[in-house]
Each structure stands twice: as structure tokens, then as C-alpha cells.
Structure 1
Amino acid sequence: MLTVGDKLPAFDLQAVVSIEPGSAFKRITDTSDAGKWKILFFWPKDFTFVCPTEIAAFGAMNGEFDDRDAVIYGASTDSEFVHLAWRQNHKDLKALPFPMLSDIKRELSAALGILHAAEGVCLRATFIVDPEGIIRFVSVNDLSVGRNPQEVLRVLDALQTDELCPCNWQKGEAVLEVA
């Protein structure tokens, strides 16, 4: 699995960006949103139970990530058509403000090393990538356990200080000084 300090692999994926006919799909690449921080999170399967809770939680916090010059990309190995159908049929996903990437050929998830060996689906992996394309944070949960988008935001805040941040540090609090 790729980790902190590694370069985000190149990718070019179809994404669902709305449920509007004629404008639902868009290509997203590793160079999209150049100069921004990227929050890239993966879930195992569409039309499941834990996944929409996480996706909706990231969606509700999209403005907070945007305030920090960060974009959110959600992804799974489902096709863009499955993503679209899920968004059209799940009330919490209809107005999702970020792209749902389709890694149907499993190229990005394989390059990141986040495919579940037995199931062949993505683990619940989260990456924070800096504007230069370097992975600065990685977290992976078991298939059955949802992640905490508030913690991802807290870590982004800490990374953006470029300072030493203690345990449970929150934006606006003092950072550590080297003696």
C-alpha cells in the first residue's frame, strides 16, 4: 500500500458529478484541481449500508474542506452508471457536492494497494494529498467500520499549519514549539 511521502499515482477516471441528464458525468484526473489539497476516499460497494453514511458525512462537510482549499473525491470500483443510479435513488446522495469516481478497472485502487484480497473491492481507505501530489496522510478501516470525516478535516488542518501539532490538536490551538 502506498503511504505518507509517496506520490499519488496518475489516474484518469469517469466520475458522476450530478444527477442532471447531459451533465452527470465528467473525467477527473490526478491533475484536476491543480494546486489544491485532495481528499481521496474509497468505499467498498454502492447500494450498501455503511458507505452512504460516510459519503453523506463528507458531503455535509464539503464547504469546510473547500474553505481549506481542498477538494473531495469519493471512489469505488463500481461503474459510473451504478454511481448515478445510487445517487438518483438514495436521498442522502442526490445533492452530493463532490465527484464519485469510477475505478471500474481497479487501476487506481490497485496502484494504491487498497483492494481487499478476498473480496476484490476497495478497503475504506482515505488519503490526504498535498498540492504537489504527495500523500501526507493515509487511513484504512475494515470493510465493516465507517471512518470519521471530522478527523480527516482535523488532520488536514494540522498538515496545513506545517507545524508540530500535539494529540487532539484543533484548528486555532497553539502548536508545539521546539525547545
Structure 2
Amino acid sequence: MSIINSEIKPFKTTAFHNGNFVEVTNETLKGKWAVVFFYPADFTFVCPTELGDMADLYPEFQKLGVEIYSVSTDTHFTHKAWHDTSDTIGKIKYPMLGDPTQQISRNFGVLIEEAGLADRGTFVIDPEGRIQIVEINAGGVGRDASELLRKVKAAQYVAAHPGEVCPAKWKEGDATLAPSLDLVGKI
């Protein structure tokens, strides 16, 4: 069963964000575009490269009205310790959600039960709290924040322009398509 267009399930957790511990719930994500960015664990190898890449592009996501939420099954205390000891993680300005009960990872279908860790799952959520984009990578395959930014722009464009779709490799300003009988077999 696809989770595309499904509403995110309820959750409540504590995040490390800009030097503070803050509560984040499923309701926090509603009202604006959001990216929920799961990774296996703090103090690892591929994970800091991904979170650092996301930190570098965070201002671009913010310009689009998108909030980023990173999530691992570590605690908010562990996130703070990592933030305080790693130059790469120290530049993060987005909320780092703790998921020690594994509820959020389970809700999004990315929990590796036998390991108690999350897969590398990326979820783009619209302002109504519905999942619009899902990407899940194997543990050894890092993600690219610039490609995610492109996909978010496409999702926002399609949401704002009913009746239009974005073709492969679409970038902001490129032509879109208006699906119709006239296009069938002509692309």
C-alpha cells in the first residue's frame, strides 16, 4: 500500500534545535512544507555527510517555506552531544528529532526492527500533513540535498498549478506538461 498522499501519523518527541530542547509533534509539521529526513545513527560515517549537506542547503529550503527535520533513533541528548563535538553537525540549524521509542521511524515505515535503527528515508510533506515524496536508500548510499531541493520545488509547483506536471529533470523555470488526450503518444 502506497503512503503517497497519506496523512502523517501522530507522534510527539523532543528535538535538539538551536541550543534548546523543544517538543515536536505531527501537528508541528502542518501548515507549511516539511522534509522529514531519517538516518541510522549519530556519530557514524555517511550520516554526518548527509546532515552536513542538508545544513549547507537549509537556507535554500527556508526560502521556499520548507522546514527540515532530521530523525534518528538516538535521543535529543545524543543529538546535542554530536552537535557540540562535530564541526559538520555543529553547523546544523534545523531541528534534530530524537526517536528513542522508535515510534516515528515505525510510523514512516523506515524502522529496521532487528537493529533498532532507521533506514535512510526522506519524506516531503505538504502543508496539510500529507506525504508527497518518498525516497528510501540503503544504508551505504548517501543522499544529495540539491536533488531533494529540486524535487521539493517540483512538488510545490504541481501543488500550486493544478493540471500541470513536471517532467523528468524539471528545474524551476523549465516547461511543464498539461496532461491531455492530445499528448498521448507524442512525448
- Shorter chain as denominator, the TM-score bin is over 0.9
Does residue 176 of the first structure (1) align with residue 172 of the second (2)? no
Q: Indicate if the aligned counterparts of 1:42 and 1:125 stay in contact, CA closer than 8 A.
A: yes
Matching residue of 2:104? 108
* 1:2 to partner: Cα distance: 6.2
> Greater shift after overlay, 71-80 or 88-97?
88-97
Does residue 136 of the first structure (1) align with residue 132 of the second (2)? yes
- List aligned pairs for 1:9-158, cutoff 5 A: 9-19=9-19, 24-32=20-28, 34-158=30-154
3-state secondary structure, aligned to 2:27: coil
- Pick closer, same or farther for the CA change 1:2–1:29 going to 2, 3 Å: farther
* 1:65 to partner: Cα distance: 0.7
- Pick closer, same or farther for the CA change 1:6–1:34 going to 2, 3 Å: closer
TM-score, normalised relative to structure 2: 0.89
**Higher alpha-carbon Rg:** 2
Q: Indicate if the aligned counterparts of 1:41 and 1:126 stay in contact, CA closer than 8 A.
A: yes
Matching residue of 1:5? 5
Structure 1 unaligned residues grouped into runs of 5+: none
Q: Indicate if the aligned counterparts of 2:29 and 2:129 stay in contact, CA closer than 8 A.
A: no
Q: Indicate if the aligned counterparts of 2:30 and 2:126 stay in contact, CA closer than 8 A.
A: no
Q: Indicate if the aligned counterparts of 1:50 and 1:146 stay in contact, CA closer than 8 A.
A: yes
Q: Indicate if the aligned counterparts of 1:3 and 1:137 stay in contact, CA closer than 8 A.
A: no
Structure 2 unaligned residues grouped into runs of 5+: 159-163, 183-187
The root-mean-square deviation of aligned C-alpha atoms, in Å, is: 1.4
Q: Indicate if the aligned counterparts of 1:115 and 1:121 stay in contact, CA closer than 8 A.
A: yes
Distance across 2 between alignment mates of 1:10 and 1:171: 33
TM-score, normalised relative to structure 1: 0.93
* 1:66 to partner: Cα distance: 0.9
> Greater shift after overlay, 37-46 or 26-35?
26-35
Distance across 1 between alignment mates of 2:107 and 2:30: 21
Q: Indicate if the aligned counterparts of 1:38 and 1:71 stay in contact, CA closer than 8 A.
A: yes
The one-letter amino acid paired with 1:18 is N
Point out 4+ residue stretches in structure 1 off by more than 3 angstroms: none
3-state secondary structure, aligned to 1:97: coil
* Percent sequence identity over aligned pairs: 37
* 1:165 to partner: Cα distance: 0.6
The one-letter amino acid paired with 2:175 is A
> Greater shift after overlay, 135-144 or 4-13?
4-13
Distance across 2 between alignment mates of 1:173 and 1:113: 34
Deviations 1:123-143 (A, max 9, x none): 000000000000000000011
Q: Return the structure number with greater helix share.
A: 2
